[in-house]
């Protein structure tokens, strides 16, 4: 299964001008710090990506302070719908300790990271969505397709066993489900 996940390094996202505009508006929107505005924009970005890749859109929820998680903090979460209902991506916009608005690139990467879990199931039709090398390559491919930054800005995570990524970095700490119906971070 990890092999299947590793086989795909890029996603064929070709964002149109509208989607690029939405991404370009994200830094200022985050700076204003109004959760509702961030929510609307994050949802629009996710919609743009899902539509471009022809998968069912996901519902995006922007929450405030990141919850603590095993010595780190939770940045994002993907919850596949149990049966009917919406698949939900949650992204937190404030840091745990100081309550500061998270940086644009971090926020966007977290959103894309959670979207990649969605795309693993809905586009690549993988039975599970694991933090493989291919997964992080796909995440980066979206980040760059959106013109969001150079490779130098991309945080590099140490590769570990595919199921858990809590050690070393708090960037995407959390767990990957045994079942597709469990939340994925
Ligand atoms: Zn994840």
Has residue 181 been placed in a domain? no
Count structural domains, the chain: 1
Interval between CA 16 and ligand 1 midpoint (Å): 26
Mean pLDDT of 75-94: 91
Mean pLDDT, rounded, for 125-131: 95
Who wins on pLDDT, 170 or 117?
Answer: 117
Categorize the per-residue pLDDT at 12 as very low, low, confident or very high, splitting at 50, 70 and 90. Answer: very high
pLDDT digits (tens, 9 = 90+) for 135-161: 999 999 999 999 886 444 444 444 433
The percentage of the chain sitting over the pLDDT mark of 90, rounded to a whole number, equals: 73
pLDDT at 177: 40
Instruction: Work out whether strand 76-79 and strand 68-69 pair parallel, antiparallel, or are unpaired.
Output: unpaired
Residue 181 has pLDDT above 90, yes or no: no
In a domain, 85, yes or no: yes
Q: How far is the CA of 88 from the centre of ligand 1 (A)?
A: 13
Greater pLDDT, 162 or 16: 16
DSSP reduced 3-state for 68:
strand
Determine the distance separating the centroid of ligand 1 and the alpha carbon of 167, expressed in angstroms.
Answer: 14
pLDDT (mean) for 111-137? 96
Q: What is the whole-number distance in angstroms between the Cα of residue 172 and the centre of ligand 1?
A: 6
Whether residue 120 lies inside any domain: the answer is yes
* Number of residues in the chain: 185
Structure tokens at 98: 């100081």
In a domain, 170, yes or no: no
Q: 30-49 burial by CB neighbour count: b if 16+ within 10 A, else e?
A: beeeeeeebbebbbbbbbbb
Q: How far apart are the first and last CA of the chain?
A: 18
How far does the centroid of ligand 1 lie from the alpha carbon of residue 98, in Å? 24
Q: Does 108 score more than 50 pLDDT?
A: yes
Buried b (16+ CB within 10 A) or exposed e, 52-80: bbebebbebbbbeebeebeebbbbbbbbb
CA of 61 to the centre of ligand 1 (A): 16
75 domain-assigned: yes
What is the pLDDT at residue 174? 39
Residue 82 CB contacts under 8 Å (≥ 6 apart), including other chains = 181
Q: Is residue 130 part of a domain?
A: yes
In a domain, 138, yes or no: yes
Residue at 167 is within a domain: no
Distance 29 CA to ligand 1 centre (A): 24
- Domain limits for position 64: 2-153
pLDDT tier for residue 51 given thresholds of 50, 70 and 90:
very high
Does pLDDT of 32 surpass 80?
A: yes
* Distance from residue 23's CA to the centre of ligand 1 (Å): 21
Q: CA–CA separation, 20 vs 154, rounded Å?
A: 18
Confidence at 83, pLDDT banded by 50, 70, 90: confident
Spatial contact of 64 and 73, defined as CB atoms under 8 Å apart: no
Report the chain's mean pLDDT, rounded to a whole number.
Answer: 84
- pLDDT of residue 182 exceeding 80, the answer is no
Confidence band (pLDDT; 50, 70, 90) for 1? low
Q: What pLDDT score was predicted for residue 165?
A: 34
């Amino acid at each position: 299964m990890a092999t299947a996940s590793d086989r795909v390094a890029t996603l064929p996202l070709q964002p149109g001008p509208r989607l690029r505009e939405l991404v370009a508006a994200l830094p200022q929107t985050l700076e204003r710090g109004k959760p509702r505005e961030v929510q609307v924009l994050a949802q629009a970005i996710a919609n743009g990506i899902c539509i471009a890749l022809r998968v069912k859109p996901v519902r995006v929820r922007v929450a405030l302070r990141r919850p603590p998680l095993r010595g780190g903090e939770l940045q994002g979460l993907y919850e596949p719908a149990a049966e009917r209902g919406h698949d939900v991506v949650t992204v937190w916009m404030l840091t745990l300790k100081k309550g500061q608005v998270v940086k644009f690139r971090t926020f966007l990467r977290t959103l894309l990271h959670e979207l990649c879990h969605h795309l693993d199931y809905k586009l690549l039709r993988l039975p599970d969505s694991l933090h493989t090398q291919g997964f992080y390559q796909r995440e980066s491919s979206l980040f760059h397709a959106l013109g969001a930054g150079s490779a130098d800005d991309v945080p590099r995570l140490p590769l570990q066993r595919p199921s858990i990524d809590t050690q070393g970095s708090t960037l995407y700490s959390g767990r990957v489900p045994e079942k597709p119906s469990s939340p994925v971070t």
